[in-house]
Chain A
């Protein structure tokens, strides 16, 4: 009786170890590497964008600090101008950020897509 049981269990084990009836297409690796490449590109573009923004903020901070300690009158004039025309200043900052974003992210991505299309 025990041998008979083993026989059934052996067959069941064999079935359970059999692979599912599914195979990936030959394009799988190609499609995956394209997806990964796209992710890497986006990440690189965004890194570039944030690097430029960080460099901009750092430079501005250094300039403001120098003015604050060395040229106090210019600093006060600039401060009053900024507070009086804060909307204009904000718009200029927004415009600069948009240009940098367009240049580092969107334009690069468009070039990337254009390159990929030409490859095909």
Chain B
């Protein structure tokens, strides 16, 4: 069943159709909310709020964009609202990050790196430490494979800024990766 059919059935009062819709887009919402929120205990509640908002506004959905883009937009807004309520600083670009330039050199990686769970965990933590806009854009681009245009629609951030956030975010992570690898080699 495609999205349009599920929407129509939900609007006719079929709550099972909405359950299918939730199952279909659950991963997208969880990925976005989990990357944006630090407090793991609140993720589930925020995900619920996202789907409740989707349900309430489903009649306003027009087919001018994909349903996943529309849901991602709602998820982004709900998560941002939640963070604002919690008085968190949403944009935390420190001077260090703004003046960051991509490292010139890149280390060769050993074949065993894919089995290195410790390094993977370090890198996942480093993603979580990135400023919120970087994290959001990286998640939408790499994990959900949205286009620049769709990310602009979801976040309201201009395409030029999206591209620069993406490359800065990657550069930061690349440096952290190099640092973590050096440290691991040194420990050995």
CB-contacts of A1-17 with B (<8 A)? 1, 4-5, 7-9, 11-17
B55 contacts chain A at the CB level, 8 A cutoff: yes
Task: Tell me whether A7 and B109 are in contact (CB under 8 A).
Answer: yes
Q: Give A7-44 as 1s and 0s: 1 = Cβ < 8 Å from B's Cβ atoms.
A: 11101111111111111110011011101110110000
Interface of chain B, main secondary structure: helix
Task: Tell me whether B174 and A8 are in contact (CB under 8 A).
Answer: yes
Task: Tell me whether B108 and A7 are in contact (CB under 8 A).
Answer: yes
Interface residues on A, range: 20 to 34
Task: Tell me whether A13 and B55 are in contact (CB under 8 A).
Answer: no
> Known: A32-B51, A36-B18, A36-B52. Is A12-B143 also a contact (CB below 8 A)?
no
Q: A25–B142 Cα gap in the complex (Å)? A: 25
Which of chain A's residues have a CB closer than 8 A to the CB of B51?
32, 36
A14 to chain B, nearest CB (A): 8
Interface of chain A, main secondary structure: helix
Which of chain A's residues have a CB closer than 8 A to the CB of B48?
28, 31-32, 35
Q: Give B121-163 as 1s and 0s: 1 = Cβ < 8 Å from A's Cβ atoms.
A: 0011001000000000010001100000000000000000000
Of B27, B47, B106, B143, the contact of A17 (CB 8 Å cutoff) = B143
Q: Give B15-38 as 1s and 0s: 1 = Cβ < 8 Å from A's Cβ atoms.
A: 100110011001100110011000
Which of chain A's residues have a CB closer than 8 A to the CB of B108?
4, 7-8
Task: Tell me whether B52 and A39 are in contact (CB under 8 A).
Answer: yes
Q: A36–B47 Cα gap in the complex (Å)? A: 13
Task: Tell me whether A12 and B174 are in contact (CB under 8 A).
Answer: yes
Task: Tell me whether B47 and A28 are in contact (CB under 8 A).
Answer: yes
Q: A19–B34 Cα gap in the complex (Å)? A: 9
Q: A79–B183 Cα gap in the complex (Å)? A: 91
Which of chain A's residues have a CB closer than 8 A to the CB of B35?
20
A residues with CB within 8 A of B: 1, 4-5, 7-9, 11-25, 28-29, 31-33, 35-37, 39-40
**10 nearest interchain CB pairs?**
A16-B142, A20-B34, A22-B34, A8-B106, A5-B106, A15-B123, A4-B108, A7-B109, A17-B142, A32-B48
B residues with CB within 8 A of A: 13, 15, 18-19, 22-23, 26-27, 30-31, 34-35, 40, 43-44, 47-48, 51-52, 55-56, 106-109, 113-114, 120, 123-124, 127, 138, 142-143, 170, 173-174, 177-178
Given known contacts A7-B109, A12-B170, A20-B35, what 7 new A-B pairs fall within 8 Å (CB)?
A4-B106, A17-B142, A18-B124, A19-B143, A22-B40, A24-B26, A24-B30
